Amino acid sequence: MAVDHPMLTGVPPLVFLGLEDGQASFAADLSAWGPESGEAGEQGFFDATRQRHPALPDASGFEDLRQAMMRLSRREAELAATARAILHWHQSHGFCAACGARSVVAQSGWQRDCPACGAHHFPRTDPVVIMLVTHGNRVLLGRNAVWPEGMYSLLAGFVEPGETLEAAVRREVFEEAGVRVGAVGYLASQPWPFPASLMLGALAVALDDQITLDPVELRDALWVTRGEMVQIFAGAHPRISPPRKGAIAAFLMRNWLADSLD
């Protein structure tokens, strides 16, 4: 929509996303608007609802980006990920971390300045490792306690201060599943603005296959063969649902299955 659309009246300062073919794109924080009661989004792991704004055409609506992203082009997905991450940063970083005063938006949304002490603050991104842990012809999948029934995925965790990507992979796999990892290699990455992560996909070769679960982190973990992975992607596995399309876990699992990781 154009920047003078009535829906954008009174919203926080727009964030400049970039120029393409001479046209500038901006992100707007519309979270002050809420749908009529009864249309509110679902609480919990995933919100599958859609809300309509009265100032928008009938075909337009608000959806969880995780639901909508499969219908976006690469450029739209890139812009949506950027917008969601940086708008969340503004929502959660309204005060100066140095002195506590309220900070103000600067640099077209890419910086916040503190009028009290002069500090500049910049958008943050949290690195997360997500691991394709292999042992021979099998890959390690885990199930978080809060996930929907049947959902399994690759193990993942935040990189901690002082860690390399490799160290984070080895620590997370050992903490969550008790499995020792040897060689670690980088595969691919994905911005994951829920709210501010960069997913770093890694190949991790397990030194043994003995699983010792951390019940706080994981409800279950198991080794899956390529034959079982075919069943999972086909929706024919008795315990494990197909991975969610669009997420890096599905990309890594599919390429492992196709033997096309490199």
**Least distance (Å) from Zn ion to the CB of residue 120?**
10
The 10 Å Cβ neighbour count of residue 99 is 12
Residue type, 145: A
Per the structure block, which two tokens stand in for 85? 């991450």
Closest CB to Zn ion among residues 100, 182: 100
Residue numbers at the binding site for Zn ion (CB under 5 A): 96, 98-99, 101, 114, 116-117, 119
**Least distance (Å) from Zn ion to the CB of residue 16?**
24
Per the structure block, which two tokens stand in for 20? 């393409």
Write the CA distances from 73 to 69, 80, 102, 246, integer angstroms.
8, 10, 37, 12
Closest CB to Zn ion among residues 95, 174: 95
**Least distance (Å) from Zn ion to the CB of residue 94?**
12
Give the end-to-end CA distance of the chain in Å, rounded to a whole number.
40
**Least distance (Å) from Zn ion to the CB of residue 136?**
55
Give the angle subtended at the CA of 124 by the CAs of 118 and 125, to the nearest 5°: 165
